[in-house]
């Protein structure tokens, strides 16, 4: 028996990294998966290679390999119509219910705030904050129509609790996700829908390990490095599975009394 048998979960940014891990883990616990990813470059400012359509197909393959059910499609979280189309298709495929939402899609770029272009700032807020709002906006009506309660999980960051140099736009967006999460928890509580945020630190994904812009900026401003410490120097990066453990907890009845909270999976970084 899985912790999520009979449930349906919607995951954004599912082509690789944390999103792929969440899809696999929730499927292993018995959930049917609706997965979306932009599968393309979001803007010119990211210093790492983008996810691809082939990556999203690999997520589908990995979920199905272990007997899981999945509907996947390409959608940008900046595009409400595209999100709604894939989500609607998945909900119909899986019997008209939606129980779990993992708003995971996000991007990272670097720079000092006064040196950023308007477009760099805007693309970050559009994806990492407004994209979360669009995800919840698309999902909640399906959850309400099903009438089964459920769990919404937003993936914020340590930067949603502790502002970071070189990432003012990212910190602003991730702090905004916390405010959205708390308001949503209050508004959805009467329907039995819990809403919580998870706050990872560095995670071993392409976004963290192949971002050339991060190294360039921290090398140019070595004093910024003090803000990027953790209490577990022997664990420089978490694995995607570490974050998925938290997702499974918040998605399941193990956390039935938890809503409106900020769950840190951060190697103590918010305490440094």
Task: Please list the active-site residues.
Answer: 170
Q: How far is CA 197 from the centre of its chain?
A: 9
C-alpha 233/C-alpha 230 separation (Å) is 6
Residue in this structure with the two tokens 């070595």, named with its chain if needed? 222
C-alpha 151/C-alpha 148 separation (Å) is 10
C-alpha 20/C-alpha 83 separation (Å) is 18
Say if residues 33 and 70 touch (Cβ distance below 8 Å).
yes
Q: How far is CA 167 from the centre of its chain?
A: 18
C-alpha 100/C-alpha 223 separation (Å) is 41
């Amino acid at each position: 028996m899985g912790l999520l048998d009979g449930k349906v979960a919607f995951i954004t940014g599912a082509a690789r990294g944390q999103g792929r891990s969440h899809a696999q883990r929730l499927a292993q616990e018995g959930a049917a998966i609706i997965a979306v990813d932009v599968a393309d470059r979001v803007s010119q400012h990211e210093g790492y290679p983008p996810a691809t359509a082939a990556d999203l197909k690999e997520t589908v393959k990995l979920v199905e390999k272990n007997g899981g059910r999945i509907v996947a499609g390409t959608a940008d979280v900046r595009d409400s119509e595209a999100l709604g189309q894939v989500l609607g298709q998945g909900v119909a495929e899986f019997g008209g219910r939606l129980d779990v939402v993992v708003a995971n899609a996000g991007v990272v770029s670097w720079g000092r705030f006064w040196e950023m272009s308007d477009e760099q700032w805007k693309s970050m807020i559009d994806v990492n904050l407004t994209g979360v709002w669009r995800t919840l906006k698309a999902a909640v009506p399906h959850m309400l129509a099903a009438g089964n309660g459920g769990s919404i999980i937003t993936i914020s960051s340590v930067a949603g609790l502790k502002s970071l140099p070189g990432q003012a736009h990212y910190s602003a967006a991730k702090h905004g996700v916390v405010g959205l999460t708390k308001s949503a928890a209050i508004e959805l509580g009467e329907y039995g829908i819990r809403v919580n945020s998870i706050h990872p630190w560095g995670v071993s994904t392409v976004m963290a390990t192949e971002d050339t812009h991060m190294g360039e900026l921290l090398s140019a401003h070595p004093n910024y490095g003090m803000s990027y410490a953790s209490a577990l120097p022997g664990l420089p990066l978490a694995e995607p599975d570490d974050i998925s453990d938290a997702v499974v907890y918040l998605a399941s009845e193990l956390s039935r009394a938890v809503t409106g909270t900020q769950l840190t999976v951060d190697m103590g970084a918010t305490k440094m």
